């Protein structure tokens, strides 16, 4: 019996009339791998100056064109803005503890 293979050919249609918010996962030579902020679908973004993006940023894109290639959603457009927003990503802040001043001459055992 074969295991169920997820249907990757049916990528959701995006509304190209309004801005799309993406979370940047990685930045490569000609594209950035992203995830839709709402929904979680992965997207390959092709946009001018994508190399200025940083993984973890949330970018607002004015989409121009959408297509599916080998079951992967691709999007081209203009980067309107980029921001860091830990709350929107669901990240929990790290707890800080006072451990005193660090003296580099004293080595910890």
Task: Provide the residue-wise pLDDT of the chain in tens; the chain has 109 residues.
Answer: 555 545 444 556 666 677 899 999 999 988 999 999 888 889 999 998 888 899 999 999 999 999 998 888 999 999 999 999 888 888 888 899 998 898 888 876 5
CATH code, 38:
2.40.50.140
- Kindly report the pTM of this predicted structure: 0.72
Question: Does a structural domain hold residue 29?
Answer: yes
Residue 31's domain comprises 20-89
Is residue 44 within 8 A of residue 103, CB to CB? The reply is no
> What is the pLDDT at residue 11?
55
Question: Does a structural domain hold residue 32?
Answer: yes
> What is the pLDDT at residue 81?
94
Helices (H), the chain: 86-89
Question: Does a structural domain hold residue 98?
Answer: no
Question: Does a structural domain hold residue 47?
Answer: yes
> What is the pLDDT at residue 44?
93
Question: Does a structural domain hold residue 35?
Answer: yes
Q: Which one, of 88, 69, 70, 67, lies nearest residue 22 by Cα?
A: 88
In angstroms, the CA 76 to CA 61 distance is 9
Question: Does a structural domain hold residue 45?
Answer: yes
């Amino acid at each position: 019996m074969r295991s169920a293979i997820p249907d990757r050919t049916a990528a959701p249609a995006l509304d190209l009339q309004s801005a799309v918010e993406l979370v940047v996962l990685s930045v490569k030579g000609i594209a950035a791998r992203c995830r839709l902020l709402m929904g979680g679908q992965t997207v390959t973004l092709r946009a001018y100056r994508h190399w200025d993006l940083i993984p973890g940023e949330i970018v607002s894109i004015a989409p121009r064109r959408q297509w599916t290639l080998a079951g992967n959603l691709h999007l081209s457009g203009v980067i309107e803005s980029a921001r860091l927003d830990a709350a929107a990503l669901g990240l929990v802040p790290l707890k800080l503890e006072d451990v005193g001043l660090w003296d580099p001459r004293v080595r910890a055992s």
